[in-house]
Amino acid sequence: MAEPVRCDVCGGLFSSSHLSSHKRLSHGGKTTGHIPKSHINDQDAMRRIVDLFDGLAEESKKNVLDRLTAPRGTP
């Protein structure tokens, strides 16, 4: 029997046998839309950040890393 699972994109509850169809039809693959804070945990947020980072051009990746390693308050 299929178990209920939560969609990592929208947080909705679906049967495990239907989750892939839901994600494909409702979210069309990777999405950068807003996910309500109540439906996302730190692991999901980090996974999403890494996915977005991987899609950047090399120069943009360098800029992001520079900003992340700069002291707080540095523009």
Contact 30, 16 (CB under 8 A): no
Q: Provide the pLDDT confidence category of residue 73 given band limits of 50, 70 and 90.
A: confident
- Token readout for 33 is 């839309």
Tell me, yes or no, whether 22 and 5 share the same domain: yes
Cross-strand bridge partners of residue 14: 5
Q: What is the structure's pLDDT at 64?
A: 92
Q: What is the structure's pLDDT at 1?
A: 67
Domain count, the chain: 2
N-terminal to C-terminal alpha carbon distance within the chain: 53
pLDDT in tens, 28-69: 755 445 555 556 678 888 888 888 888 889 999 999 999 999
Tell me, yes or no, whether 28 and 46 share the same domain: no
> Residue 11: CB partners within 8 Å, gap ≥ 6?
35, 36, 38, 39, 40
Closest CA to 55 of 18, 20, 30: 30
Domain range for residue 60?
41-75
Tell me, yes or no, whether 71 and 55 share the same domain: yes
Q: What is the structure's pLDDT at 35?
A: 56
Tell me, yes or no, whether 28 and 48 share the same domain: no
